Structure 1
Amino acid sequence: MNAEPQIKKGRKFDQVIEGARTVFMREGYEGASVDEIARDAGVSKATLYSYFPDKQHLFLAVLESECAQQAEIEFLMDAGDLSVEETLHVICKALMTFILSDFGQDMFRVCVAEAQRFPELGRTFYESGPKKWGRKIAQYLDSPRARAALNIEDTALAADQLAQLCRADLMLKVLFGIEKDPPEAEIDRVASEAVKTFLARYRRP
């Protein structure tokens, strides 16, 4: 098995990532060209290739970078002054915001479209996005504060259930272009109902 190439970082690394992100969001994976990415990033193709061996690895780097920025929720769970119910609501809203964002939707479409031909892309998206969210939510559900309020045997399964409740029908409407930019009030309503349903199953009597 060939070893994965080591991606080096230099002073123009972030510049390349930002340019690639812009082009991938605009053109999709298949439509994006290395020439166009280099032009938008303001670097030469030689500079781009000095960081990434091909377009696939560049796309994976953009994916991992964006997921890391948008799916970072530890600080939401460290708010000691919030109740478990309030914290779950904040988590649900943050998760929905990520799912419904232009990036989340575009990457979901691209990863589904390319999954057969480029399985590493789908695996990376899953591990950088949904799996990471699930792990962090499960960690919160394992915390002493949450344990005192909730009766959960399998926190990993419960975390996945909470995430699925957040998707609801709103995700499909946005994904299929039926609804664009859902109002904050609707996101808040879906998040509130997700928490109510979750607590109805797991809140200690």
Structure 2
Amino acid sequence: MTKPMPQPAIRKGRKFDQVLEGARTIFLRDGFEGASVDDIAREAGVSKATLYSYFPDKRLLFMEVAKCECARQADEAAELIEAEAMPVEKVLRFAAERFIDYMSSEFALSTYRLCVAEADRFPQLGHDFYHSGPELVRQRMVDYLKKAAARGEVKIEDFELAADQFAELCKVDIHNRLIFGIGDCCDPRDRNRIIDGAIEMFLARYGVRA
């Protein structure tokens, strides 16, 4: 087993957000492997020296973008759900659609592969991403379920478990097929079948009958 290496430090400064925004554009367009530091610096409007002064390693920059993107989507979803005051079934459908769309994106797949590839050398990389990205999305779901339970829309005792179960119901075989490159994935009919099944099973366990 490879001995873990210390994770290089990220330095923040005046152009930090500018670098992140430029990197987000390039990473979303080209993925981790396809993105070049030259393109990122050009898009961000900074020199390569400035970029490297903030992020000494491209992996760190990618993971920082991934954390911010995950948090942004979680916040947008939470705001929309609160604003629309949707019934629980529609919220679950909305959450499932967003989850599957993100999970099946090349950006999400690149993030997963990078975390796995660097797990031995840089275990902190995946740890930091999980707690600033997926864990935040999970907590948004927990918060929603608690509010839904308080309104009498669902009956749940273990909210963390319920949130995890719904996420797994949405994943079923999609994640493995994507990671291992097994055939086409997520055509509209298959996607809708998975979402319908996830909602039906979740509400069968936690739903409140009128």
TM-score, with structure 2 as normaliser: 0.80
Paired letter, 1:37: V
What is the aligned counterpart of 1:45 among 45, 48, 52? Answer: 48
Write the deviation string for residues 81-133 of structure 1: whole angstroms up to 9, x where unpaired.
52111111111111111111111112111111111111122112212332112
Q: Distance in 1 between matches of 2:145 and 2:67?
A: 25
Report matched runs for 1:54-133 at 5 Å.
Answer: 54-72=57-75, 73-133=77-137
Residue 27 of structure 2 corresponds to 21
Q: Helix, strand or coil for the counterpart of 1:186?
A: helix
Cα shift at 1:192? 1.2
Residue 167 of structure 1 corresponds to 171
For structure 2, list consecutive stretches of 5 or more residues without a partner in the other structure. 1-6
Paired letter, 2:81: M
Question: Is the Cα–Cα contact under 8 Å of residues 74 and 136 in structure 1 kept in the other structure?
Answer: yes
Q: Distance in 2 between matches of 1:15 and 1:5?
A: 16
Name the count of aligned residue pairs: 199
For structure 1, list consecutive stretches of 5 or more residues without a partner in the other structure. none
Identity %: 37
Paired letter, 2:140: K
Paired letter, 1:60: M
Paired letter, 1:98: Y
Residue 8 of structure 1 corresponds to 13
Q: Distance in 1 between matches of 2:140 and 2:203?
A: 18
TM-aligned CA distance change 1:83 to 1:109, over 3 Å: same
Give the structure, 1 or 2, with the largest relative contact order (CA under 8 Å, sep 6 or more): 2
Paired letter, 1:17: A
